[in-house]
Chain A
């Protein structure tokens, strides 16, 4: 039962990744793509946590921690660029 739920969660996460990728490819402006990039990073964090659960290795979560910090910094830098400040 739990195994099936994990499979379902992984499938839904993969679908969300493809949807965000569609917006990243299609998005008319740069701001759209930055949003899509942010969402893709967050989905990536979930995917990494799922992978850690599947493989049973807690060390993988450190990578998710790095991404939780980096996505914030990345969006700030790009937003400053779009605002023509930096």
Chain B
């Protein structure tokens, strides 16, 4: 195993800090869109870390599936179920003023 150059080590360190912050945020976020975005960010950093580990094919898959498709799919589903349930009040806490203008569901 070849020793890591200090520059690559620094990049890895920053990426790991970013990844841990995003992962904590994905768990603790109160609003669903924010949690989905944070999960996408974890995926993005994970794919760059795969590149650091010299695995470009895995990184490309992670980019297309993890960061792309999963995030889109979550948002599509979120838009589908919006307004359908009674308990999902927190989904749209961001646009509360807008919600009040519309009728409540």
Contact = CB atoms under 8 A, between A and B. Distances in A.
Contacts of A47: 11, 15, 48
A83 to B, nearest CB: 10
A37 B73 CA distance: 17
Contacts of A80: 79
Contact of B94 (A18, A30, A78): A30
Contact of B34 (A7, A17, A30): A30
Contacts of B11: 10, 14, 47, 50-51
A81 B40 contact: no
A77 to B, nearest CB: 5
Interface in A30-54: 30, 33-34, 37, 40-41, 44, 47-48, 50-51, 54
A73 B33 CA distance: 16
Interface in A41-86: 41, 44, 47-48, 50-51, 54-55, 57, 59-60, 62-63, 66-67, 70, 73-74, 77-78, 80-82, 84, 86
B59 A63 contact: yes
A30 B33 contact: yes
A70 B63 contact: yes
Contact of B14 (A17, A34, A57): A17
Contacts of B79: 80-81, 84, 86
B10 A66 contact: no
Interface of A: 6-7, 10-11, 14, 17-18, 21, 24-25, 29-30, 33-34, 37, 40-41, 44, 47-48, 50-51, 54-55, 57, 59-60, 62-63, 66-67, 70, 73-74, 77-78, 80-82, 84, 86
